[in-house]
Amino acid sequence: MNSRLLLSMTRKAVDEYRMIEEGDRIAVGLSGGKDSLTLLYGLKGLQTFYPKHFELCAITVDLGFKNLDFGKIEALCEELSIPLTIARTTIGEVVFEDRQEKNPCALCAKLRKGALNRHALELNCNKIAYAHHKDDIIETMYMSLIFEGRIHTFSPVTYLDRSKLTVIRPLMFLTEPEILSFRNQMSLPVVKNPCPADGNTKREWAKQSLASLEREFPGTKSRLFTAILNGHMEGWPERVTRRRGSN
């Protein structure tokens, strides 16, 4: 995937779900993974020509795992002229040592989001951009159906009543293979995920299960995504689409 497609798909999401308004100050949740680094590029590129002016900053939540080097991420943010805040925490210690959680993902995500929100508010941001992509949306719906008995997935735009922040997901129309392609093309400085639970989660199961269905019934994931977009799911904003040929 090239930069042109990244910008096109980022703008498509931003336009169709009204993710950005004039004067927004947006914090990019920058984990150092391929998805969040791609998001950083996408929003920085969009910022140069989008008719609604907005500011960007980046926040990396350091979970406290040892031997993590964020130097390359700091250099990238400096190159893109995006201020970076590294939020130092002990979340990894709390989850894996103090609590010794058997299913750590939910608690880790809750604590990580709390830290991200606090720092976003301290930086006077009104929005946070998450790097969830098309496959994430499909996998979340699949897990919700299998494990919770309901049809649900996260919304492109979510207002958080408690913090008064709005979460946006500008990569929602991009697939994971497309993001992998962009990472390889741009040689993104990906920081390896040090989490002990990485690759051994319900999400990884969902990913593999959907891949199996896709091999047996090609187009499965595309049809699931279409069903999500057209399903009038609770919490989803109205989608604005342009007619072909309109400006």
- Transcribe 26-52 into DSSP letters: EEEE--SSHHHHHHHHHHHHHHTT-SS
User: Does the pLDDT of residue 244 top 60, yes or no?
Assistant: no
For the chain, the domains span 25-230
Q: How far apart are CA 39 and CA 165, in angstroms?
A: 19
User: Does the pLDDT of residue 27 top 50, yes or no?
Assistant: yes
User: Does the pLDDT of residue 90 top 90, yes or no?
Assistant: no
Pick the range with the lowest mean pLDDT from 38-42, 74-78, 192-196.
192-196
Distances, alpha carbon 81 to alpha carbons 50, 112, 195, 226, in Å: 17, 25, 29, 37
How many C-beta neighbours within 10 Å does residue 210 have? 17
Contact 190, 32 (CB under 8 A): yes
Position 132 confidence tier, pLDDT thresholds 50, 70, 90: very high
How many C-beta neighbours within 10 Å does residue 185 have? 12
Contact 233, 153 (CB under 8 A): yes
Position 245 confidence tier, pLDDT thresholds 50, 70, 90: very low
How much is the mean pLDDT over the chain?
Answer: 90
Q: What is the mean pLDDT of residues 114-132?
A: 96
Contact 138, 151 (CB under 8 A): no
User: Does the pLDDT of residue 2 top 90, yes or no?
Assistant: no
Q: What is the mean pLDDT of residues 10-22?
A: 97
State the Cα angle at 170 between 165 and 176, rounded to 5°.
Answer: 130
Q: What is the mean pLDDT of residues 130-134?
A: 97
User: Fold for domain 25-230?
Assistant: Rossmann fold (3.40.50)
Give exposure, 118-149, as e/b (b: 16+ Cβ within 10 Å).
ebbeeeebbbbbbbbbbbbbbbbbbbbeeeee
Q: How far apart are CA 153 and CA 142, in angstroms?
A: 8
Top-confidence range, 77-81, 107-111, 202-206: 77-81
Q: What is the mean pLDDT of residues 93-113?
A: 76
What pLDDT, in 10s, does the model give residues 136-181?
Answer: 999 999 999 999 999 999 999 999 999 999 999 999 999 999 999 9
- Transcribe 105-133 into DSSP letters: HHHHHHHHHHHHHHHHHHTT-SEEE----
What pLDDT, in 10s, does the model give residues 193-238?
Answer: 766 666 567 888 999 999 999 999 999 999 999 999 998 888 899 9
pTM: 0.91
